[in-house]
Amino acid sequence: MTGTIRPYAQAHLGDVAGAVAARLKTLEQIGAVARMWQRDHTLWKPDPAEITNRLDWLTLPETMAPAAPDLAAFGRRCEGFDRIVLMGMGGSSLAPEVLSLAGGKKPLLVLDSTHPQAVLAVERSGDLRRTLFIVASKSGATVETHSQFRYFFQRAPRGDQFVAITDPGSPLETLAGDHGFLRTFLNPEGVGGRYSALSYFGLAPAAVMGIDAGMLLESGRQMAAACTAPGAGNPGLWLGAAIGEAALRGRDKLTLLPASAEDGFGSWVEQLIAESTGKEGRGIIPVVEESTGRPGAYGADRLFVAAGEAGALAPAVELPGRSLATLGGEFFRWEFATAVAGHILGINAFDQPNVEEAKAAARAVLAGGGAAAPTAGDLRSTLSGVGPGAYLGILAYLPRTNEHHDRLQRVRLALRDRLRVATTLGFGPRYLHSTGQLHKGGPASGVFIQVMDRPSEDAAIPGQSFTFRQLLDAQADGDLAALRGRGRRAVRVSLEQLEQEV
């Protein structure tokens, strides 16, 4: 395990190396590591709200270990199902998706969309009678997840095909009891969604996929032990100092070089970094799945992170290659590093104060009290205003299919090379639970292209007065209004219009 937790030479950090070394000395002088493990909220803010009750992720590798045998037994109990459908948003689904791609033995479909074609595709892609549905929501009141549950329970009305993962006392716990769910996993309450990979939100789906939860926790335990070191030998502290100091010096586009085409780890890091640091006008912009380009395609605002060799790109951090056996440790490393980076930026790494803006606007649209659909805007003039230091976010309210992903990837790479700016790609409403906080609360350097379609099919949501298409439209309208309300440049186009412009 020592090979996976070593600190990394500063030689790759170039013009930020000195600042990182100085920061590490300062962190040691103020006892930052000991204070973090002691749950000292003043590392981030004087007010303990949404800090002291969000730090139990630090001890998950220890506190969850006794649950590993039960999880393994539950996984064996579920062997009769042919596939797993996980209904959850953001922190409730991203870690399971990473684990599925890394070595799940049973297919896992993550449904984190309200696009009717995405919902219908899940329904039509397998036998619902042999499907295990996992309904995951920390609050138990996530509108997307509840809508998906209503739809599929009407079509597979057997409670013993459903599993809930939620916090104690949530509406989802009540719903699961009323509908006779096979099992309800009640998560430790002091864990925020994006820090929950080593809790039931990550471990229960892992067990059903045939992954050893004990192995993940042991990897996490070893990394957590390494992260008790007070100085540069602490792998989480070192990484946090590197990304935090780089951001302070203008290298705030944290670019994760893709390990492979089938690696979901970057999307998990994207949510963790974006939602934790993007607030108070500050933040780190994670750039994931942006295929590696020639050095001339990048501006001077990048810090590269590679799982392996970074090649000629610099400044760069090189982390060990990941495997299923080391993922628990990598989850913990990045969680610790993100908390450290939040301290360096002077923000609360555990709240998400701007997420509610788009949700409230969407609710108003659905209730008939919101503004009319926002004007589209002009794509060409929007792109002409993108300059150095900006980032371009493509927000696609389309089904997350391979075809759409590939077409959008071609567009983003062409725009990166043409404009020499960082690009991001998110599918709505998935990204609202990931990068949505950063878009509104972080630096005002984002320029956004919202991509919409007009599907030929819709799907009703049982018990609701709106359909999935109407919900999706309201979420898109609400987010566009929230972005513009924050003074962000944002335009709406079709995919075909975007491709023609590029």
Write out pLDDT tens, residues 133-166.
Answer: 999 999 999 999 999 999 999 999 999 999 999 9
Among the residue ranges 4-8, 109-113, 131-135, the one predicted with the least confidence is 4-8
CB hemisphere CA count around 224 (13 angstroms): 20
Whole-number pLDDT of residue 369: 64
Residue 238 reports pLDDT greater than 80: yes
If we measure between CA atoms, which residue out of 379, 411, 382 comes closest to residue 398? 411
Provide the pLDDT confidence category of residue 308 given band limits of 50, 70 and 90.
Answer: confident
For 367-376, write each residue's pLDDT tens digit: 886 655 677 7
Q: What is the CATH number of domain 64-211?
A: 3.40.50.10490
Q: What is the DSSP letter of 179?
A: T
- Residue 143 to residues 3, 91, 217, Cα–Cα distance (Å): 43, 15, 31
Does the fold of domain 64-211 match that of domain 2-56+218-345?
yes
Residue 427 reports pLDDT greater than 50: yes
Contact 466, 307 (CB under 8 A): no
For 370-426, write each residue's pLDDT tens digit: 655 677 789 999 999 899 999 999 999 999 999 999 999 999 999 999 999 999 999
Among the residue ranges 43-47, 292-296, 448-452, the one predicted with the least confidence is 292-296
Sorted by where each begins, the domain ranges of the chain are 2-56+218-345, 64-211, 355-501
The helix/strand/coil state of 316 is strand
The mean pLDDT value of the chain amounts to 94
Contact 398, 495 (CB under 8 A): yes
The helix/strand/coil state of 360 is helix
Which residue bears the tokens 């004007």?
375
Contact 65, 221 (CB under 8 A): yes
CA dihedral in degrees (337, 339, 341, 345; nearest 10)?
Answer: 180
Residues, the chain, total? Answer: 502
Whole-number pLDDT of residue 295: 84
For 9-39, write each residue's pLDDT tens digit: 555 899 999 999 999 999 999 999 999 999 9
Residue 41 reports pLDDT greater than 90: yes
Residue 431 CA to residue 355 CA, distance in Å, equals 11
Report the DSSP beta bridge partners of residue 492.
450
Question: Rg of the chain over CA atoms, in angstroms?
Answer: 22
The better pLDDT of the pair 260, 287 is held by 287
Q: What is the CATH number of domain 355-501?
A: 3.40.50.10490
Provide the pLDDT confidence category of residue 178 given band limits of 50, 70 and 90.
Answer: very high
> Can you list the pairs that 303-308 forms with residues at least 24 positions away whose Cβ atoms lie under 8 Å?
303/16, 303/242, 303/243, 303/246, 303/247, 303/251, 303/252, 303/253, 303/254, 303/255, 304/255, 304/257, 305/243, 305/254, 305/255, 305/256, 305/257, 306/256, 306/257, 307/257, 307/259, 307/263, 307/265, 308/259
Whole-number pLDDT of residue 129: 96
Residue 291 CA to residue 122 CA, distance in Å, equals 28
Hey, what CATH topology would domain 2-56+218-345 get?
A: Rossmann fold (3.40.50)
If we measure between CA atoms, which residue out of 494, 458, 479 comes closest to residue 365? 479
The better pLDDT of the pair 391, 295 is held by 391
- Residue 387 to residues 279, 329, 379, 411, Cα–Cα distance (Å): 22, 38, 15, 18
Q: What percent of the chain has pLDDT over 90?
A: 89
Give the predicted TM-score (pTM) of the model.
0.96
Among the residue ranges 284-298, 361-375, 450-464, the one predicted with the least confidence is 361-375
For 332-366, write each residue's pLDDT tens digit: 999 999 999 999 999 999 999 999 999 999 999 99
Whole-number pLDDT of residue 372: 54
Whole-number pLDDT of residue 259: 76
